[in-house]
A = this chain, B = another copy of it.
Amino acid sequence: MSARAIPEATVQRLPVYLRILVDMAGRSTTTISSEALAASAGVNSAKVRKDLSFLGSYGTRGVGYDVDCLIHQISRALGLTHDWSTAIVGLGNLGQALAHYGGFAQRGFRIAALLDVDRDLVGQRMAGLEVLHVDEIERVVKEEEIAIGILAVPERSAQEVADRMVAAGIGSILNFAPTLLSVPDHVSLRKVDLSIELQVLSFYEQRRQAEATLGERGQHGERGEQPEPT
């Protein structure tokens, strides 16, 4: 059966499968089984088959999935068949690191604008772009058709900048500031919070040290599923 409503959990795994498949294609592999893909992705093969079945029936029984076909189907499902423009707001250490990170462009996310409040930064060139003042955000979002705003500003200004992004018409925000943002229902929001990651690791680290006696599970976190140490 084809599509309609891909579950949240599946959406999060599709990019992982995609990366593996692109890698496979680069090695001239033409076909892959759910078992092999599952091993690379660190999940169980039934999950892979169920996930892929939400895209439609693109496998061949007794054989597996055609790598190129799957790449195409996943890309289509994720909306990666065309590029998206992004803007980075906040060019501190993290914002600059993001601006220079090549992995975005490579995966179809064009960094179309860099913005900051700091008058010393505005006007400078960075990663091939001129840094704009954050007050230009409304204009830039419209002119460059920015779909995704990347927020790398300090905690205290995060909400204000987010509000301006939303007002300017941005539909998706990736927030690196360690704060909870409020956005209207029609805006998608994801956050990356380094201290939360460390604190979660701390929990398991502590538990391991506290026990230091029983054999316990060691793979933790919805983001941390991993394959066998094979």
Question: Is the pair A226, B8 in contact by a Cβ cutoff of 8 Å?
Answer: no
Residues 31-58 of A, flagged 1 when their CB comes within 8 A of B and 0 if not, give: 0000000001110000000000000000
A69 at the interface (CB under 8 A from B): no
Number of identical protomers: 2
CB neighbors of B among A176-230 (8 A): 178, 180-208, 215-224, 226-230
- Cα distance A204–B100 in the bound complex, in angstroms: 26
Question: Is the pair A229, B184 in contact by a Cβ cutoff of 8 Å?
Answer: yes
**Segment among A79-87, A116-124, A133-141 that sits at the interface with chain B:** A79-87
Question: Is the pair B78, A199 in contact by a Cβ cutoff of 8 Å?
Answer: yes
Q: Which of B78, B109, B181 contacts A226 (CB 8 A)?
A: B181
A94 at the interface (CB under 8 A from B): yes
Residues of B within 8 A of A8 (CB): 220-222
Given A79-B202, A217-B185, the answer on whether A97 and B93 have CB atoms closer than 8 Å is: yes
A142 at the interface (CB under 8 A from B): no
Chain B nearest CB from A123 CB (Å) reads 21
- Cα distance A185–B86 in the bound complex, in angstroms: 38
- Cα distance A6–B202 in the bound complex, in angstroms: 14
Residues of B within 8 A of A222 (CB): 8, 12, 222
By beta carbon, the residue of chain B nearest A152 is B97
Residues of B within 8 A of A77 (CB): 203
Residues 65-95 of A, flagged 1 when their CB comes within 8 A of B and 0 if not, give: 0000000000001111000101000001110
A-B contact pairs, 19 of them (CB 8 A): A8-B220, A12-B222, A15-B196, A19-B195, A79-B207, A93-B100, A94-B101, A97-B97, A103-B178, A103-B195, A104-B194, A107-B199, A109-B195, A148-B202, A174-B197, A186-B208, A186-B218, A190-B220, A192-B223
